Amino acid sequence: MSASKTLSFEQVPEVTVKVVEQSPLVKDLVSATLIRDLRGRIRLALEFSPGLVRTADVSEALADLQEQLARKLGPYWGDQVWQMEERASPPSQALNRLIVNTRREWLSPPDTRLKWYRIERVFSKSSWLMSTAPPWSLDDRSPAIVSFYSYKGGVGRTLALAAVAVLMARAGHAVAVLDLDVEAPGVGPLLLDRKDTDAGIVDYMLERELGINGLGIEQILVNLYEDDLEGLEKPIRVFPAGRLTPTYLEKIARLDYEGFASDFAPSNPLARLLQEIREYDSDLEFFLLDLRAGLHDLGGFSLNGLSHLNILFGLDTQQSWNGYEIVLPLIRRKQPGERQELFFVHAMATPPRIDPYANQRFRQRAYDLLQKHYYGPDEDMLDLQDPDAPYGIPIFYRETLLNVRRLADVLPEIVNPAGDYQRLANLIGVYLSRQTL
């Protein structure tokens, strides 16, 4: 039976490793880099031991390796083994540097005989497949970047972010809100009602990609004051996605997220926007980012690089859990031994008077998922019964909070001192080790 009938996309890397590790060449190699191209085909870059003398046996082993890979991988084989030679020509040295600068650590002894690296070339979603650090480290003097994310839409994520922003501002904290749900802007209209700007985040990022520095922070910012929302001690800095004109779709269609991924902070337009906002208002304490549901590129950037804290909203449905089976492994690690802070929110939870065990079931599912995909085998997990543990703070379903047109209409319920949103804001402080309310 041919390889194309027996081998799946998921199996290709494992089979490639097995073929290489069984080759007699393995004794002469320092590392191997698996490169998967835009169509899913595999090529290899092999780094030989310094000073290795190329004998007829080595050449024969290389030819045999390529034959084995062609036979095992079938149409998934890209028919190239690149030899990263020590004494290469200048063009070859340039390619070697590109490989070294692009590859990511993958497999290491004792699991394998070789040190393995991996490069995934894709048309989109690079932001989910690579990770970096936030644009600044978190300390007592720097603002915290908090991402609000849900795999499925319509779970109350945007309302929760707006509520947290208001509660923080009423407590005297300086907060910036960024509407990064650029394909269906939500938090901007919810907070601003009829207020608007001539431009927004989309315009800013598009201009920066073109090398234009025409838009300043003032042109994409709307301030909310006490006159707009009763009780605000500090203004809320709101950065809407942009004005929804007939050309808005043409703008978002031209945002090159893959360009963002290949040239991340400080040149990435989104990271640079955060830096410029921070420079504009050095007193800011929190950046709250409202992300597009699903696997949108901006969500990948935020969860997988920009944020100090990720808040994951979900329903107790199989669709939500299936989504987080994908998302959690992608955002699991920044560096070996490190982990981003996150916690789950049980969105639209069934009230205890109707089902007293609904939140308990959600927390158990979240615990199992985090244990499987997020925490390392030697890491201790918080007790499931700890109310501050990251397994699903509940925000209970309320008909009064469905189809909210503007936050001002439900403000009394939002700012209830014993309410769900107050508890959510408090928990953000717990995970960031700073006071929120």
Tens of pLDDT, residues 291-335:
999 998 888 888 887 899 999 999 999 999 999 999 998 887 554
Cα 262 versus chain centre, distance:
15
Whole-angstrom distance, CA of residue 362 vs CA of residue 321: 10
Residue (of 411, 435, 423, 131) closest to 286 by Cα position:
435
pLDDT of res. 8? 86
pLDDT of res. 16? 96
* Contact between 242 and 199 (Cβ < 8 Å): yes
Question: Which residue has better confidence, 150 or 194?
Answer: 150
pLDDT of res. 436? 86
Q: Does domain 128-432 have CATH number 3.40.50.300?
A: yes
Q: Where are the domains positioned within the chain?
A: 3-121, 128-432
Q: How confident is the model at residue 376 (pLDDT cuts 50, 70, 90)?
A: confident
pLDDT of res. 335? 47
pLDDT of res. 86? 67
Average pLDDT over residues 46-51: 86
Say which amino acid occupies 44.
Answer: L
Fold of 3-121: Alpha-Beta Plaits (3.30.70)
Whole-angstrom distance, CA of residue 252 vs CA of residue 200: 11
For residue 44, the number of C-alpha atoms closer than 13 Å in the C-beta half-sphere is: 26
Tens of pLDDT, residues 201-246:
999 988 887 777 778 899 999 999 998 898 999 999 999 999 988 8
Choice among 98-112, 119-133, 265-279, 305-319 with the minimum mean pLDDT = 119-133
Task: Give strand ranges (E) for 240-376.
Answer: 286-291, 309-314, 341-349
Q: How confident is the model at residue 37 (pLDDT cuts 50, 70, 90)?
A: confident
Tens of pLDDT, residues 57-87:
888 999 999 999 999 999 999 999 988 876 6
Say if residue 134 is preceded by a cis peptide, omega within 30 of 0. no
